Copies of this chain bind each other. A is one copy, B any other.
Amino acid sequence: MTDYMQNLGKNARQASALLARATTEQKNNALLAIFEQLKTQKNQIMSANQQDLQNGREKGLDTALLDRLELTDSRFDTMLQGLKDVVALPDPIGEITDMTYRPSGIQLGKMRVPLGVVGMIYESRPNVTIEASSLALKSSNAIILRGGSEAFFSNQALAKCVQDGLEQAGLPKSAVQVIETTDRSAVGELITMSEFVDVIIPRGGKGLIERISNEAKIPVIKHLDGNCHTYIEQSANFDMAITVCVNAKTQRYAPCNTTETLLIDNAIANDFLPKIAHALVNQDNAMQLRVCEQSLSILQNEEKLQSHISKATEEDWDTEYLAPILAVKIVADMNEAIAHINRHGSHHTDAILTNDYAKSLQFLREVDSSSVMINASTRFADGFEYGLGAEIGISTDKIHARRPVGLHGLTSQKWVVFGHGEIRQ
């Protein structure tokens, strides 16, 4: 196992040096060649996927997992379109910014460069194999992929297309390598071979990510969870607040940028809470509300709501439901709201609804989250909405890239100096 992994690492390191030199045209040609290979080899990919699905059913995998594993025609088309989207993105590599003359006479700037070799560990969605490969390639990084064992055959078939496309475009095949074993010790090797791997990107369950963060000897771009808040400050326009809050919670439940706790100023609670509660319950998929004691008493005479309300426990403030459940809490003022968010939130995405100028700026500054929003739905916090093109991973870390992480998250900057023979005095 060690020899096998070390070999992958060496190959990736060599490929990354060649990728660093590749022109934008070469990289785009490789992406287009992969696009063609996927179309040509679609039958092989689909039957590999069928084999994974059959193995999964025999092993008794649950429906949700089998669903994620399945490559439908429409998912296949989305995957193809994703490649075209990455071709259309500007090449981040080589960009020089912040050029200034220093008093010594040197001209100083920053050049965007690849990270080198990315190790990616992910769940059983085969499309991630193509997404991650294309983003790594566009940003001139080599990548070593370790997909879920359930998607073993699908990932092999997809990786073959990628390598065929790379070869056709004259780029090294080992720029994208899939770990061809389901031996779990491969992950342990991958996350500790710091000589060959520059960054680890895990996607998957919280347990997996925590284990990887603890054991890695390489920087990890990690995302743990999304416990997002929408706070209704007393000056908020009620109609806007209801529309935005309903969208933030109900537009979709599963994404990590969905609001999980609604905070309401005490001054408007009597008036606003019944309105928003009815709006949330009158959805196709009616909400369950876990409310604080004061909310419970305000809502006690609203008969229609009773079957949808229960008293929140302390645990609710810390819970990412990913389900039609919303926690609701009345706060004395914005300071309490900010303190609640910074304590119970996951530093992911939090929004305020307000028309108060000073408070909007204070909220923006003091909430310690990757995305902080005024008068907008927390659901906007993603790579496509932010114009990053695509997301390679999602990060709640403060170091390096903060969520969402697009192509730039796979790059670093180096200082460049244009001199004319200057020496240090």
Contacts and interface: CB of A to CB of B under 8 A. Distances in A.
A237 B421 CA distance: 9
Contact of A243 (B219, B366, B423): B423
Contacts of A374: 417-419
A214 B214 contact: no
Interface string A391-407: 00000011110110000
A162 B200 CA distance: 39
Interface string A183-209: 000000000000000110000000000
A365 B20 contact: yes
Interface in A233-276: 237, 240, 243-244, 247-248, 251
A228 interface: no
Contacts of A127: none
B414 A402 contact: yes
Nearest to A103: B387
A377 interface: yes
A19 B388 CA distance: 31
Contact of A421 (B104, B240, B413): B240
A251 B423 contact: yes
A59 B97 CA distance: 51
A279 interface: no
Given A100-B387, A243-B423, A398-B116, A416 B364 contact: yes
Contact of A415 (B94, B217, B247, B402): B402
Main secondary structure of the interface of A (DSSP, over half): mixed
A368 B424 CA distance: 23
Contacts of A244: 419, 421-423
Interface centre among A94, A244, A372, A421, by most B CB within 10 Å? A421
The 4 closest A-B pairs by CB, nearest first: A376-B419, A247-B423, A373-B417, A379-B424
Interface of A: 17, 20-21, 94, 100, 102, 104, 106, 108, 111, 113, 115-116, 198-199, 213-214, 217, 219, 237, 240, 243-244, 247-248, 251, 342, 351, 364-366, 368-377, 379-381, 385-387, 397-400, 402-403, 412-424
